[in-house]
Chain A
Amino acid sequence: EDQVTQSPEALRLQEGESSSLNCSYTVSGLRGLFWYRQDPGKGPEFLFTLYSAGEEKEKERLKATLTKKESFLHITAPKPEDSATYLCAVRLNTGFQKLVFGTGTRLLVSP
């Protein structure tokens, strides 16, 4: 069964304290891994797409990396406004563009 697991479920950081979020997956036929940010009561906001092992993408304080079995979202010197739930999703090798999501990591950055 296709599965996406994110860890930790929740993470509390002090402002400036760097850390990483993990997304591991077991799927049959990966056609892209996606990271989204979701604020409470809102829709997910697209951050990155990764397609192949070794690929890296950066945006401000965030950097996403991909291996054959997992992806990491590195947060460098986070600020309180980075507080959100971060969702990882994989696109399967089906005839349509179905995303399978993990349950997310709730990040809280304290000043």
Chain B
Amino acid sequence: ETGVTQSPTHLIKTRGQQVTLRCSSQSGHNTVSWYQQALGQGPQFIFQYYREEENGRGNFPPRFSGLQFPNYSSELNVNALELDDSALYLCASSLELEYEQYFGPGTRLTVT
């Protein structure tokens, strides 16, 4: 069984640019959540998708947006990148809403 995968592994962008991060859920999982983890901090919830619909959102501005596809893979899009967006972006999937979340390896984003 394949776990949660994310791409790319690392990314360097310039302030003001846009970025798309991708996530493939664990097989059979219909719920995907995205988190931002700054260095030395715990992950912060960005938003969650359940069966292709946004199901909840944390305290992140609208320039953070996402999609979930029919195969339950997901994208995180960030527009107008700021220096503070530099972080590890984590995707987590779960079998259903009430089940435990399994995390991918993350995408390290650096904004210069």
Contact = CB atoms under 8 A, between A and B. Distances in A.
Interface of A: 4, 31, 34, 36, 41-46, 49, 87, 89, 94-104
Contacts of A89: 42-43
Contacts of A44: 43, 90, 103
Given A43-B90, A44-B43, A97 B98 contact: yes
B40 to A, nearest CB: 7
* Chain B binding surface SS class: strand
Interface residues of B, number: 30
B48 interface: yes
B2 interface: no
Given A87-B42, A96-B48, A41 B108 contact: yes
Contacts of B94: 97
B48 A98 contact: yes
Contacts of B45: 98-100
B55 A101 contact: no
A97 B31 contact: yes
B100 interface: yes
Interface string B13-51: 000000000000000000101010000111111001010
B59 to A, nearest CB: 11
Contact of B106 (A31, A43, A49): A43
B50 A102 contact: no
B7 interface: no
Interface string B79-112: 0000000001010101001101111111010000
A73 B67 CA distance: 36
A14 to B, nearest CB: 25
B32 to A, nearest CB: 10
Nearest to A89: B42
